[in-house]
Structure formats: structure tokens, C-alpha cells
Chains A and B, each alone.
Chain A
Amino acid sequence: MPEPVTEMKQMVALEYAVRPSPLTLDYLGKLRAGRIVGHRCPECELVYVPPRGFCQICVVPTQTPEHEVAIADRGTVTSFTVVDPIQYHGQTEREVYALASILLDGASGTLGQQRIADVPLEQVRMGLRVEAVWIPEAERKSDLRDQGAMLGGSIRHWRPSGEPDTPLSAFQEHIV
């Protein structure tokens, strides 16, 4: 008698549409042109990157171009981790890499899940000043599902800018 059946497999494959808003398309278009932009809330004046079309604290709408502000492509690492990627179904990352939260100059809050490279992993640190390494313009694409504020389609990674470190006390309130 063959062994009893104790397990069954079920492949679940569902297709979803990716349908970005005009605001997101505008943000991605500017990124492909080499510009990072945010929205400043008219009430509390906090600057959100990427722009979300409203301020989550005041719940008031924000719009392009009225509330748009330019954001630098450089900033400070406020925190980071070094990841040894888990090999789950669909994972294509193989090597250990650094992921940081970065407070860009001109933004009120940090961007998470930003890759740091061109520096030994042990030299990645809080307070490190970094600058964007842009993908050549012709190769940039709109990556709607990139987890790092959709920057991944246009910015390959961040590297040390050579500026002196920012003291910890300057970004105590901006951890992630």
C-alpha cells in the first residue's frame, strides 16, 4: 500500500493591475529626469517625499505645482541595517547588502529601504553623508513597486559624499 497522502500543493497565481495616480506618474517622470520632489503641507509645513497628495497629519490636500518643493539628491544616513537576504520564492538578491534610512536635504522625514554601496559595509554608519548614484538617463524606468519610495528605477544606490558626518543630535527625531 502506498503511503497515505498528508499534504497537497496549491499554486495560487493572481494577476493585479498596477494603476498609478497622475501625481505618482508626475513624481516618477521627474525622477527619470533626475529630480526628486516633495509636497509641503500648507498647514503644518512638513515636507513629504514622495508627495502623497495630502498631509497625513492635517488631512488636507496638497497639489502640484502649488505645494511642490525640490529635494536634494543627498542627505544623511539616520539608521541602517546590513541584510543577508532570505531566499524565499521569487527572491533574486543573493549577496549581503546595506539598507539605510536617509534624511534628504529639504525633506522633513526620512526615506527607508535605501541601498548604500561603494563603501565597505563596516563603514556604513549613522550620520554618514551620502549622495545619489543615478542610473544613466536612458536606462531609467518607473518602478512603481519599489519599496524605497519608488526611487529604485532611477537611483541605483547611494554612496558617501565625502562631507563630514552629521552629528547624531541633529537627527534624533528622524530615525526612520
Chain B
Amino acid sequence: MPAPTFTLEFPYKRSLGPVVGAFLTGLRDRQILGIRTESGRVLVPPLEYDPDTGEANVDWVPVADAGVVRGFTWVDKPGPKQPLAKPFAWALVQLDGADTPMLHALDCGSRERAQIGMRVRVRWADDTRGHITDIACFEPEA
């Protein structure tokens, strides 16, 4: 007999504020926005406050939807809630125009194909709605 379980389930409703809201609005419109800190670093995804100083960030910078893999880990058995059902890599991707990499899924077929320094591009979800999963994943640039 399987052990009894209960499911703690709730549909949270998160208000976004100006920075996260603008970024997710951009994703819905298939555009990626970064934000420049006081010291000039362009953060993607945009953080509301400078991680170094705590000061508010306000200076928007559009960035490309393609960039370079700075780090990755290959996962053979994805979790049921994760972005891809088949084996994939979690990758830190520095988009062209950004100074910091963003973390998302990378669909590149096999572990051997995943490389630091490889060029990748956003694969957009069929339906974009203003959510981090509007980026379905990254894929190798053609």
C-alpha cells in the first residue's frame, strides 16, 4: 500500500511592480530588457535593486535574444515541473548586450553538445503571456 500523502496546493497571484513587470511585459512581446546599475553593469534578467549596493535600478537597456553559454549542467532525468520533459541542460546564458548571465533551460540534444562558449538563442513559447516560461528554453544558434 502506498504511503498516504496530501498535496499542498495554491495558485499564487504575484504583483510584479515596475521592474519585473516591464521585463515580463517585454517577454510577452518577445523582447528582452536588461537594467543598468549605477556602476554600469547591465543585469539580465533585471533585478530591482543593485545586488552590490542595494540602490534602486532604473536605466533600461534592450538586449539581444541570443548570447553565449557561460556555464551549464546536464540533467538526464528532469523533474516533472521543469521546463522540458526530455533531458536538457540548465545554462547560464549571457545575452549579447548583457553583463550578467541568465539561468534557463537549454535544449541541445545531448550532454556532449553542451559547451561553455557556445552560441544559443531564445526559443519562444508558442503563447507568450508575461511569464519567465515565455522563454521556452534556449537552443543552439543555427
Using CB atoms and an 8 Å cutoff, list the residues of chain A in contact with chain B: 2, 4-19, 89-90, 144-145
Known contacts A4-B21, A4-B22, A4-B25: does B13 contact A9 (CB below 8 Å)?
yes
Bound-state CA distance A150–B112 (Å) is 54
Bound-state CA distance A8–B129 (Å) is 9
Known contacts A4-B21, A5-B24, A8-B16: does B8 contact A18 (CB below 8 Å)?
no
With both beta carbons as reference points, the residue of chain A lying nearest to B81 in the complex is identified as: A13
Bound-state CA distance A165–B90 (Å) is 68
Our count of residue pairs bridging A and B at CB distance below 8 angstroms stands at 70
Known contacts A4-B22, A4-B25, A8-B24: does B5 contact A15 (CB below 8 Å)?
yes
Contacts of A6 in B (CB 8 A): 15-16, 21
CB distance from A5 to the nearest CB of B (A): 3
Q: Does B113 contact A (CB under 8 A)?
A: no
Complex contact B6–A16 (CB within 8 A): yes
Complex contact B25–A10 (CB within 8 A): no
Given A8-B131, A14-B9, A19-B3, 18 other A-B residues pairs in contact with their CB atoms under 8 A: A2-B28, A2-B29, A5-B130, A6-B21, A7-B16, A8-B14, A9-B12, A9-B14, A10-B12, A11-B11, A12-B9, A12-B11, A12-B12, A13-B7, A15-B7, A17-B3, A89-B9, A89-B10
